[in-house]
Chain A
Amino acid sequence: MKLKRFMTFAAVTAAICATGLQASHAQDYPTKTVTVVVPFAAGGNTDTFGRLVAEELDKRLGQRFIVENKPGAGGNIGLGDLARSKPDGYTIGMGTVSSNAINQTLYKTLPYDKEKGFAPISLIASLPNVLVVNPDKIKANNVEELIAFLKTEPGKHTYASSGVGTSIHLAGELLATKAGIKITHVPYKGSSQAILDVVAGHVDMMFDNIPTAAQQVKAGKVKALAVTSLEKAALLPDVPTMASVIPGFEATSWHGLFAPPGTPPEIVEKLSKEVQAIIAEPAMQEKLKAMGVTPVGNTSAEFQTFIDKETAKWADVIKAANVPLQ
């Protein structure tokens, strides 16, 4: 009996101590260097956003935020590492539409628990895609004409992508399912090679991230028909949105910050507030907009709702288009 009472006492004390520790822990956080895992190669978009934010967190929180690139398997390797690291806020990581909303459906197995997922900190930025066509191959000046043209020759035309299961590929599948047309998918490794083949006319059209495609559009090598964000894009202000023709059509490539599952909510909250403040700064807004990117910055809860919505949307597209699972 005595022992049982002691055990209860000990357990309660331990619990109090633990919460107390955790609270003070979150208040002091960070007291040492924080690692920011970027699950893609250095120099890419995700890496750039990760470094921009890490640099500012560094200045604001007075601790080093070090970016570590762990590329491979569409972001799965880096996220696997993130999921396995201690949920104490000293390892956080970047995630994207592919790694955190598409791979969940596309890959049969992931190196982490799909159900547990991650603790979202904040969405950082989103990149709209633009639908470009080779003017010699596709006789259309807008999306309505394109759909009508493709309906007359079903299965005869091709669209390029930066790889199976990328947001660029799935944007094409989304168009095919929503408009009820048949187009052949021609995947490449990365979009730079793909857009070149659209320019040369080997492939008829593609969706591409705006920053890279805008150059070819401005040089007159390809024709831009529509952007895939709900609002018009700053880099191509004259191009209408897909949503104006197909209501609700949205396919952006977004990038956000995540913590491992089980990270104390206070720490996630603190980081989220900081990231939102960083993105709200005029200098940061300028920098991101110049890159053709829409700055976002939202709360953990908002980010989670967004991810759930995106995951469900892309799961439907993958199923409807019969994209083979990996």
Chain B
Amino acid sequence: MDIFSNLLLGASTAFMPMNLFYGFIGCLLGTAIGVLPGLGPTATIAMLLPITFGLPPESALIMLAGIFYGAQYGGSTTAILINLPGESSSVVTAIDGYQMARNGRAGAALATAALGSFFAGSVATILLAVAAPPLAAVALNFGPAEYFSLMVLGLVASVALASGSLLKAFAMIVFGLILGTVGTDVESGTPRYVFDIPELYDGLNFVAVSMGIFGICEILRNLEGEHERSVGVKRVTGLMLTKEDLKRIIAPVLRGTALGSFLGVLPGGGAMLASFASYAMEKRISPNSAEFGKGAIEGVAAPESANNAGAQTSFIPMLTLGIPGNPVMALMVGAMIIQGITPGPNVISDEPALFWGMIVSMWSGNLMLVILNLPLIGLWVRMLTVPYHLLFPAIIGFCCIGAYSINNSVFDVFVMAGFSVIGFALSKMRFEPAPLLLGFILGPMLEENLRRAMLISQGDPSIFVRSPLSLSLLVFAVVVLALVLSPSISRKREEAFTE
């Protein structure tokens, strides 16, 4: 196996002082913004994306990955300390984590989250390193027909795994697909929905749209009421886990990692689904299940390892096929395109240093978080007390600069502003923005590959079923759709999400 030489190549990239530095900055910035309640990884990455534009591709992606883990870790910190999960995947962490903090065991909860995440991250990184190259080799055989079928499967699965109402998730996907049609039609060169605005000829800018929908919109939602945030825990002590604690978390961490790694690969849910599922599982099989909800350390260990493992393995479809399974990966795809890299199976062969560097940086990023965050916990607690009316104008100002700097165009700032309003309205009506973003990024790919396949087959639609790969993907998509629509499953699904 040349996996070791590959990892060595990756290490030589990831451990370059410059890349270590950007990884560190990414983790730090990610955690700093991630600890702000309500701002999860997607919002954080959307906001910080523009600052990576000027960097070389390796550094930019390593920094973004660092921002991602940092933001995720920051979200767990607030969940534990003030019972305000920074993102959906740490919602369940808050249940037992906050109880632990109230019992004076905030340090132990934070340490459990950090160590569990680190362990899960390491396992998932190795999994990624082993699974990606063979998958990418298969992906090279993917032509337009196979890509089309894969995209159909991805969209169907993301409806199935969305947490709210199915109909609303479906509506959001279709809305995203429609937004994706704005701009010059690739096949005929005809402009669509551009209203004679030259800036729209290349379509709506993906970064501006996601900064609006995820970044500014989150701030608007937080501004609805400036809650007094009571940081009950002023000082966090006792970061060391006792022997008893360690014994209790080993099994949940292992189970959480396994479940998370598997669920992360599926398009749609990723980290959030992983943390919910593993908490539910742990509650059922743990010998201490009576303690759950009252500060069980297992209730922190399992979902935290699961969401980190899931976050990491969700890189697999993105890096091997160029297909984002969740909004964070969609942002990563956007960042790669901006850096001049076409995401897809060719990344491994064309940019081995970038690919393996990123994989190794995932591990080093997680390690950095453990080293960085446990001593800095006091700083994060203090950040929680910065009033919103100082913080939010600064963040919005930063977002405007970021949106402008994408193309040096004021138009993109307006796009961002417009979509923050749309995003806010949608969230008021309980529509989830995640399927919208997936539809928006997958839509043009779906359409292009459909029409390209039809061009190549001279208009014969049987091209989609003639290829065994494409046929099996389509069959799989139909099966998923049938499962979701069948009454017994949809009832179970509702139960799972209400829990």
Contact = CB atoms under 8 A, between A and B. Distances in A.
A187 interface: yes
Contacts of B458: 155-156, 184
A69 interface: yes
A73 B409 CA distance: 13
A200 B329 CA distance: 26
Contact of B199 (A77, A184, A187): A77
Contacts of A158: 455-456
Interface stretch (A56-64, A114-122, A188-196, A259-267): A188-196
Interface string A194-216: 00110010110000000000000
Contacts of A163: 186, 189
Nearest to B350: A192
Interface residues on A, range: 35 or more
B239 to A, nearest CB: 45
Interface in B414-472: 448, 452, 455-456, 458
A197 B198 contact: no
Nearest to B183: A73
Given A68-B408, A156-B458, A189 B186 contact: yes
Interface residues of B, number: 30
B346 interface: yes
A197 B186 contact: no
A20 interface: no
Contact of B189 (A44, A106, A196, A197): A106
B198 A80 contact: yes
A323 B190 CA distance: 10
Contacts of B187: 164, 187
B237 interface: no
A74 to B, nearest CB: 7
B190 to A, nearest CB: 6
Interface in B73-107: none
B199 to A, nearest CB: 6
A165 interface: yes
A177 interface: no
A69 B201 CA distance: 17
Given A164-B189, A186-B455, A72 B143 contact: no
B342 interface: yes
B340 interface: yes
Nearest to A193: B342
B154 interface: no
B455 A77 contact: no
A31 B190 CA distance: 44
Interface in B326-363: 338-340, 342, 344, 346
Contact of A196 (B346, B407, B408, B455): B346
Nearest to A163: B186
Nearest to A77: B198
A69 B184 CA distance: 21
Given A184-B455, A190-B342, A70 B408 contact: yes
Contacts of A72: 198-199, 201-202, 407, 409
B499 interface: no
B228 interface: no
A203 B449 CA distance: 13
B196 interface: yes
Interface in A36-52: 41, 43-44
A324 B188 contact: yes
Contacts of B184: 73, 164, 326
A202 B455 contact: no
B490 interface: no
B144 interface: yes
A76 interface: yes
B223 interface: no
Name the 6 nearest CB pairs between A and B, nearest first. Answer: A164-B189, A73-B201, A202-B143, A73-B198, A43-B340, A192-B342
6 contacts: A43-B340, A73-B198, A111-B198, A164-B187, A184-B455, A326-B191
Interface of B: 140-141, 143-144, 184, 186-191, 196, 198-199, 201-202, 338-340, 342, 344, 346, 407-409, 448, 452, 455-456, 458
